[in-house]
Structure 1
Amino acid sequence: MIPLDEALDAATTLLAQSGEGWDPETMRIVHERVRIEDGHAVVPYNSRAFLDEGRKGAWLLGNPPVLVDLATGACRFMTIDEVLASPGPHGGT
């Protein structure tokens, strides 16, 4: 089992390599909404302008959380079906 900080590092690496415009200066993981579900870390992210400044026009839409397997460290983006089936919060993440 990997520690949560390593799971967050893996999620950040995936985001940086995804080609989705990840830039730590303008985007960040929503640490207060990271949760553990069925042996996975669910890692939401959004723009800093939305999260830190409350600028609603900067809210990213359609950005699925990263799913990190805590047993192996493997990570990927959640599918829409997984997001909809997840018991966690969905708004703004």
Structure 2
Amino acid sequence: MDQTAALNLADSYLKTRSLDWDAPPVRLIRESSFIDGKFLIVQFNSIAFLDRGEIGEMLGGNMPIRVDLNSGNCELIKMVDLIDYMDRGLIS
């Protein structure tokens, strides 16, 4: 699947998962997404932070979404994966 289709899956996944969270409304950060092997990795944060820079609404501890480009399966990455991406300079 292409990156646009994977981003759409991640968006749908985020909308569904975030319904159970005690957090402000959230949105994908599409422009920082990247492909790593067979996965699309995409971060997200609160709309208030992304649109208006409201630091108090910035999420903490939110793990990026990983979309398997072959199966379309979506999941939140694990801490070990986050550290790997940070060590490789893919996520700051």
TM-score higher than 0.5 here?
yes
| Aligned counterparts, 1:1-93, within 5 A | 2-18=1-17, 19-20=20-21, 26-86=25-85, 87=88, 88-90=90-92
Give the CA RMSD over aligned residues.
1.7
For 1:10-68, what per-residue CA distance to the aligned partner results, in whole angstroms no more than 9, with x for missing partners? 11222222223587xx3211011111111210010001111111111111001100000
CA contact (8 A) 1:50 1:59 kept: yes
Q: What TM-score do you get using the length of structure 2 for normalisation?
A: 0.83
Name stretches of at least 5 consecutive residues in structure 1 with no aligned partner.
none
How high is the TM-score relative to the length of structure 1? 0.82
Figure out how many residues of one structure are paired with residues of the other and give that number: 87
Superposed structure 1 runs of 4+ greater than 2 Å apart: 19-23
Distance (Å, rounded) in 2 between the aligned partners of 1:5 and 1:22: 26
How far apart in 2 are the matches of 1:22 and 1:16?
A: 12
* Unpaired segments ≥5 residues, structure 2: none
Q: Secondary structure at the match of 1:68?
A: strand
> RCO greater where, 1 or 2, for CA within 8 Å and sep 6 or more?
1
> Hey, what's the Cα distance between the residues in 2 that align with 1:65 and 1:71?
18
